[in-house]
Chains A and B, each alone.
Chain A
């Protein structure tokens, strides 16, 4: 008979109770104790001998994690307390929390922060709605769904830099969109999607949604594939329509997927850089400045590494906060 995982055995080095529940004869006690001790000793020495290969096997991962995540993270926290231009390693001054004070007092930081929040919230909402809708379409096996699934995922595989360049030309004052508009209204002034403070950030959001909708779609599609068909059939027999099925059966079943997708979108939104940098560089006049582009400018254009690190710490704190919030988010755990 197969042993249950939680059931202790002698092999685990733990003394077991007799299966029958009857008391053992006293004469057996020394034998059992001796046997148990020997097994425990052997197991201990056996596991100890696994220590070296165990360490050897995890070492590459731990070293990589330490070198490329823990070390930079600790460094960023340390550098955020310094005034350092970045040109010379030893040429720094300890300023304590001064960089953070400067950051909180700077209007550009708050502008970048607000833009980051707007970008994150908007893209997360739209991506989830569009991604879920596309997943439902694909899952309903409409004609051409296999091709559609592949085509919709292609932008995800492309570099954000390429996407940014492509959308820059499409939204250019004389790009494809404005040319189409001019067909219908030849006298219309071109719409300055990227050159206008009001339209720059929304334009970047459109490009981002275009790129990543396929990603969310795939995650939702995978979730839909795991839905028990019995529940949908039962709902259907009970007279539930499409909308009721989605609301009362599909969505509750997808809560874990929704939680994961939202978290990924939020973290991706908070650290957005490349597509913004390529499409507007944060302009015009800071209209689409996000925290990552502002941090880049502080570090590599203004040579203010301490201040840039303070912004980086801000991004880390907000990202971790978002992850914790998600964990505490009631029904989505």
Chain B
């Protein structure tokens, strides 16, 4: 009798175990359920918040009140101010409509976006890098074409910019602003050493030699995160290809990557590396960290690449130590081309098919790019992707960037395998272990 009562658990224990099991199940289910819509003007930067917010992003009704989820990685600098300004105007003009801005670190951004879209719970509006991921996303069928929408209430965007976001005759993104990549130089140091802005690459070499004899490095490049090396190549392609069409043609498979234009550009970079134009350690310095430190500490006389996305940071760090300015990468000797910068889209947004209220999302993009939107961009030293008058009180640096934008050459390869091969091989070129021909061979192999 005693044995049998020991073998059977008391009813209270059974109920307790059942309750525990049920509570675990309920807990698990509730953890996966969508969270409630975020409060008006909500702004989140944590991945957890991003996940919970995304779950509710596309469930908003298309009636009077709705929440439009927007994802971006640009939570540094003044971009959030521009977004917030548009949000404020939009929500005031559209009572009941809310924009929920979520900022996700760039390193995780595409991973999270891809996962959310595959799960059918992506944001309405998403910032997209002007790179291969954009074309992959278009091809995936997850985006809404904006060709018709852009005809009403949007400014007339720069033509090359429109072409850059057009695939299969449809426009897939709204470009907010553009940027240019140039060489930053220590104006005070140049003046002290009697140096002038170089007009050719041999003049650049002379400047570097003079800097070196005075204990300074030439151009500081941070190529640990690779993309700067890609831009060095694009800067040379801008001169090797006077038509500004070869990159897009090769990218589309219309010409081969072993075209002499690309070899000339690759050889030009390799030659500059060999002659010591760049500060040592490019591959071990992150862009805007190590190379910026060298420039700000006046150990390097120049820094590349620099655009409006980093000018405020440099100005803040430099303070009153020295004056600095910008000039485009100079053309090779014998070239008849005028110095040109490379450039393109800085921030652009797409509307996803996961969006339950695409009309509201597009309306918000109109607020980002209308006259007030342009004003907010210019006030924060960004360059709108459409013609916008430059106020006379803007800095010389800003005016320089706007002027450079008018002739800027393309700097994009959409085929991710080719772009990745370029970035990896450019590290080899910067290290001096790869030649221009090696780089071209890697592009050809990646394009197969």
Contacts and interface: CB of A to CB of B under 8 A. Distances in A.
Interface string B217-229: 0000001111000
Given A60-B24, A195-B282, A283-B283, A46 B4 contact: yes
Contacts of B434: 285
Contacts, number: 147
A298 B25 CA distance: 36
B8 A281 contact: no
Contacts of B294: 174
Interface stretch (B55-63, B373-381, B421-429): B421-429
A190 B283 contact: no
B322 interface: no
Given A172-B285, A195-B284, A300-B114, A284 B142 contact: no
Contact of A280 (B17, B224, B279): B224
Given A88-B142, A195-B431, A285-B433, A189 B280 contact: yes
Nearest to B434: A285
Given A190-B280, A284-B427, A301 B140 contact: no
B17 A46 contact: no
A-side interface size class:
35 or more
Contacts of A234: none
Given A52-B18, A53-B14, A89 B118 contact: yes
Contacts of A39: 3
DSSP majority for the A interface?
Answer: loop
A315 to B, nearest CB: 18
Interface in B111-144: 111, 114-115, 117-120, 133, 136-137, 139-142
Nearest to B111: A300
Given A56-B18, A194-B224, A85 B281 contact: no
Contact of B7 (A46, A52, A57, A60): A46
B-side interface size class:
35 or more
B9 interface: yes
Interface in A277-298: 280-281, 283-286, 297
A192 B283 contact: yes
Contacts of B281: 172-174, 190, 192, 195
Contacts of B119: 89
Contacts of A46: 4, 6-8
A85 B114 CA distance: 9
Nearest to A42: B4
Contact of A87 (B136, B280, B283, B286): B136
A57 B420 contact: no
Contacts of B293: 174
B410 to A, nearest CB: 21
Contacts of B115: 86
Interface string B1-38: 00110111100011001101100100010000000000
A47 interface: yes
A209 interface: no
A49 interface: yes
B429 to A, nearest CB: 8
A155 interface: no
Contacts of B117: 87-88
Contacts of A85: 136, 139-140
Contact of A284 (B120, B141, B430): B430
DSSP majority for the B interface?
Answer: helix
A6 interface: no
Interface string A83-99: 00111110100000000
Contacts of B136: 85, 87, 303
Nearest to A189: B280
A46 B20 CA distance: 21
A87 B24 contact: no
Contacts of B8: 45-46, 49
A196 interface: yes
Contacts of A37: none
B434 to A, nearest CB: 7
B144 to A, nearest CB: 14
A11 B3 contact: yes
A59 B4 CA distance: 26
9 contacts: A53-B18, A57-B20, A87-B136, A168-B284, A171-B284, A172-B290, A284-B223, A284-B430, A284-B431
Contact of B141 (A53, A55, A88): A88
Contact of B140 (A91, A168, A297): A91
B417 interface: yes
Nearest to A279: B224
Contacts of A192: 280-281, 283-284, 431
Interface in A43-84: 43, 45-47, 49-50, 52-53, 55-57, 59-60, 63
